């Protein structure tokens, strides 16, 4: 009974967390032409009152969200183009756009939520439908280009927060699909290939509290639809995250070990792409995506993303980097690294791995194939060889010196 309850709670949490990073596609049409198109993930952090306290819930825009054709419009006849996405019972996200001919921008951002939806707002002391709006949120792009922002970007709307990530968006569209030319947001430019998270990455990090020691090694796997294991991993994992702390009102750096006992694994396997998703309770989700190059038959870890919602964070921490090149190995082999490795994901988040072995492709009979060792391990294996060789050399020199010495003294006796 207890176990089944725990499993239910875990799966609910898992779906809640998974929901946070769903990408949703929304389009506003008029006649046959599309005027607004958006592909985005959105996370809402909403504060409401119960009879005794205030509570904050995290709600994500589900992929069941649809465009409300009644209130959305392409803005013909003087009004602004408006995209309204509705989801759940009476919740909505609205984006209205304006342009001055060379740029277009999100003129206002509206969030509407229905406090009588007890599945989202348990114990709310009100049953109102609340609407909050924020004007000039700073999402803008050059006309005829697509606004592109991978970095999670939080926007304050009333007392609540809307965090967009992996966002591609265009209004006043010249064609029916997103323009290939993109206006990249400041946050993405600031961190070049990596993506930035939350507001305060640039603040200097406080000295880290005492590190938690080496993490325990966990065994994780992903099964395909057959029920056969298609991805295998064994590793100890340590997260190193900088974020804004509620209690300390400044950026703190936290090092946290993943506890395998509390971590569940899932994921997916495709021919050239395999994903391992690790979820620790409901507060931490870590995603690894491996990519296979079918020409060279080599694979690597191309993507790491993290969702963390720890009690002392002001906003949930969301980070991802899709252009990594770690843990390179060859199809038919596993990748192994016993030494500690640091995988930097973004400046505010890196991952330390310990005693790692992973095989994302070509797993047969539920076992690792022959391992290819990482460079650090190979270097460390070289050390005893070098030391051994040096010792052997030394012994040889001493021996030769002794022999020569003996012969000399021998010769000495003979001449006397």
- Contact with ligand NAG (CB under 6 A) among 66, 228, 272, 409: 228
Residues 144 to 163 in contact with ligand NAG, rule: CB under 6 A: 144, 159
Q: Check binding of 216 to ligand NAG (CB under 6 A).
A: yes
Q: How far is CA 213 from the centre of its chain?
A: 24
Residues 258, 277: Cα–Cα separation, whole Å: 13
The single residue among 1, 4, 31, 204 that binds ligand NAG, judged by CB under 6 A, is 31
User: Which residue, among 353, 343, 302, has the nearest Cα to 323 in the 3D structure?
Assistant: 302
Choose between 227 and 384: whose C-beta lies nearer to ligand NAG: 227
Tokens representing 287?
Answer: 């995603």
The only residue of 12, 135, 390, 404 in contact with ligand NAG, by rule CB under 6 A = 135
Q: Which is closer to ligand NAG, CB of 10 or CB of 129?
A: 129
Contact between 21 and ligand NAG (CB under 6 A)?
A: yes
Burial 106-132 (b: 16+ CB within 10 A, else e): bbbbbbbbbbebeebbeebeeeeebeb
Instruction: Say how far apart CA 413 and CA 410 lie, in whole Å.
Output: 5
Residue nearest to ligand NAG (CB): 90
For the purposes of burial, counting CB atoms within 10 Å of the CB of 224, is it exposed (0-12), middle (13-18) or buried (19 or more)? Answer: middle
- Token pair 């936290």: residue: 254
Instruction: Report the residue number, 96 or 357, with the smaller CB distance to ligand NAG.
Output: 96
Between CA 362 and CA 370, with CA 364 as vertex, the angle to 5 degrees is 75
In this structure, the number of other CB atoms found within 10 A of the CB of residue 232 comes to 20
Position 252 contacts ligand NAG (CB under 6 A): yes
Under the binding rule (CB under 6 A), the answer on residue 174 touching ligand NAG is yes
Contact map string, positions 254 to 283, toward ligand NAG, x by CB under 6 A: x-x--x-x------x------x-x------
CA–CA separation, 147 and 340 (whole Å) = 39
Please count the other Cβ atoms lying within 10 Å of the Cβ belonging to residue 245. Answer: 17
Give the total of residues touching ligand NAG (CB under 6 A): 54
Kindly tell me which residue out of 204, 210, 249, 414 binds ligand NAG, with binding defined by CB under 6 A: 249
Interface with ligand NAG, residue 28, by CB under 6 A: no
- Among candidate residues 357, 317, 354, 313, the one with its CA nearest the CA of residue 335: 357
CB of 390 to ligand NAG, least distance (A): 38
Question: Contacting ligand NAG (CB under 6 A), which of 163, 191, 234, 287?
Answer: 287
**Any contact of residue 297 with ligand NAG (CB under 6 A)?**
no
Distances (CA, A) of 273 to 182, 215, 267: 26, 27, 11
| By CB under 6 A, residue 48 contacts ligand NAG | yes
CB 192 within 8 A of CB 204: no
305 contributes a contact to ligand NAG by CB under 6 A: yes
Q: How far is the CB of 66 from ligand NAG (least distance, A)?
A: 14
Q: What is the SS3 assignment for 288?
A: strand
Contact set with ligand NAG (CB under 6 A): 21, 31-32, 47-49, 54, 80, 82, 89-90, 96, 100-103, 108, 110, 114, 116-117, 129, 133, 135, 143-144, 159, 174, 216, 224-226, 228, 245, 249, 252, 254, 256, 259, 261, 268, 275, 277, 285, 287, 293, 295-296, 305, 307, 310-312, 320
């Amino acid at each position: 009974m207890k176990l089944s309850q725990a499993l239910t709670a875990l799966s609910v949490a898992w779906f809640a967390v998974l929901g946070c990073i769903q990408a949703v596609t929304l389009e506003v049409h008029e006649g046959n032409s599309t005027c607004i198109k958006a592909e985005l993930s959105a996370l809402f952090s909403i504060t409401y009152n119960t009879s005794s306290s205030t509570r904050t819930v995290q709600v994500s825009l589900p992929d069941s969200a649809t465009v409300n054709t009644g209130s959305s419009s392409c803005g013909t006849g003087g009004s602004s183009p408006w995209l309204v996405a509705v989801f759940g019972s009476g919740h909505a996200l609205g984006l209205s756009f304006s342009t001055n001919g060379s740029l277009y921008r999100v003129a206002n951002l509206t969030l509407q939520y229905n406090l009588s939806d007890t599945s989202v707002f348990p114990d709310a002391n009100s049953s109102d439908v609340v609407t909050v709006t924020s004007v000039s949120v700073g999402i803008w792009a050059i006309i005829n280009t697509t606004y592109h922002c991978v970095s999670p970007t939080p926007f304050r709307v009333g007392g609540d927060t809307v965090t967009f990530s992996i966002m591609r968006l265009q209004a006043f569209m010249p064609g029916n699909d997103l323009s290939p030319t993109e206006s990249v947001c400041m946050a993405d430019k600031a961190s070049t290939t990596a993506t930035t998270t939350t507001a305060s990455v640039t603040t200097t990090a406080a000295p880290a509290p005492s590190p938690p020691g080496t993490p325990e090694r966990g065994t994780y796997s992903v099964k395909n639809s057959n029920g056969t294991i298609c991805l295998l991993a064994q590793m100890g994992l340590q997260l190193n995250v900088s974020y804004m702390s509620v209690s300390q009102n400044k950026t703190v750096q936290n090092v946290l070990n993943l506890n395998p006992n509390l971590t569940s694994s899932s994921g997916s396997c495709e021919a050239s792409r395999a994903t391992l998703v690790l979820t620790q309770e409901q507060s931490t989700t870590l995603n690894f995506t491996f990519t296979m190059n079918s020409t060279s038959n080599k694979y690597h870890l191309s993507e790491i993303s993290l969702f963390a919602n720890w009690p002392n964070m002001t906003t949930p921490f969301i980070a991802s980097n899709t252009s990594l090149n770690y843990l390179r190995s060859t199809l038919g082999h596993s990748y192994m690294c016993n030494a500690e490795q640091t995988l930097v994901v973004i400046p505010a988040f890196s991952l330390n791995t310990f005693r790692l072995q992973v095989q994302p492709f070509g797993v047969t009979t539920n076992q690792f194939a022959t391992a290819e060792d990482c460079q650090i391990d190979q270097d460390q294996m070289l050390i005893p060889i070098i030391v051994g060789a040096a010792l052997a050399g030394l012994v040889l020199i001493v021996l030769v010196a002794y022999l020569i010495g003996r012969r000399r003294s021998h010769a000495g006796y003979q001449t006397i």
